[in-house]
Structure 1
Amino acid sequence: MAYATTNPPSLLQDRVMGGGAVWSYISADARAAVVASGYFTNGKQLGMKVGDVVNCVVDSTGVLTVASVTAVNASTGAVTVTALA
């Protein structure tokens, strides 16, 4: 499956004193797809920035994957996340 802008990540905690934001994302998409380059096609428009943390529950398994925003494409707005563990 592919990312749908109708199911965007939710902002859990905004930036405080220069720190990163924390997001939550739940989807049936495969973990490998979510951590692929540019998965969140509207991430920049949502306000995601490099260094933000994204808690992902994907694969319909209920297993949490903690990821970090590692790239934001300035022209398309697509965001790439990388799993931390």
Structure 2
Amino acid sequence: MAYDKANLTRLAGGSGLTLWHYTTTDTIATVNTADYFANSANMFNTNDVIIAVTSTGGTPVVTLTYANSVTASAVDVVDGLTVTATDSD
């Protein structure tokens, strides 16, 4: 599936940093591919944080990532840190 701007939500911003939420059925490996967010390059700044909720097969995966490079037509995000889904209680 391709990037869908409708699934990108600005949660907060200030001091030059914006926190975003993005949800998709793509894998995180697809989401953190260079230029996945290129169609919204004008919305991002370097170091903007993205909470990416990806879901394949119905199992959600939450990853914290950020834009490490942004130009007028390109966005590159880091691989990110996956939040564990362990629930041991």
Structure (1/2) with the larger helix percentage: 2
Ranges in structure 2 where 5+ consecutive residues have no aligned partner: 82-89
1:34 positional shift: 0.2
1:19 positional shift: 4.4
Give the superposed CA RMSD: 1.6
- Structure-1 residue corresponding to 2:3: 3
CA contact (8 A) 2:7 2:24 kept: no
TM-score normalised per structure 2: 0.76
Q: Percent identity?
A: 30
Q: 1:13 is aligned with what amino acid?
A: A
CA contact (8 A) 2:45 2:67 kept: yes
1:58 aligns with 2:57: no
- 1:20 corresponds, among 17, 37, 44, to 17
- Structure-1 residue corresponding to 2:84: none
SS for the counterpart of 1:70 is strand
1:79 positional shift: 1.6
1:81 aligns with 2:77: yes
Q: 2:49 is aligned with what amino acid?
A: V
Cα separation, 2, equivalents of 1:34 and 1:14: 22
CA contact (8 A) 2:35 2:76 kept: yes
Q: 1:84 is aligned with what amino acid?
A: G
Structure (1/2) with the larger strand percentage: 2
- Structure-2 residue corresponding to 1:42: 39
Ranges in structure 1 where 5+ consecutive residues have no aligned partner: none
TM-score normalised per structure 1: 0.79
* More divergent stretch after superposition (22-31 vs 59-68): 59-68
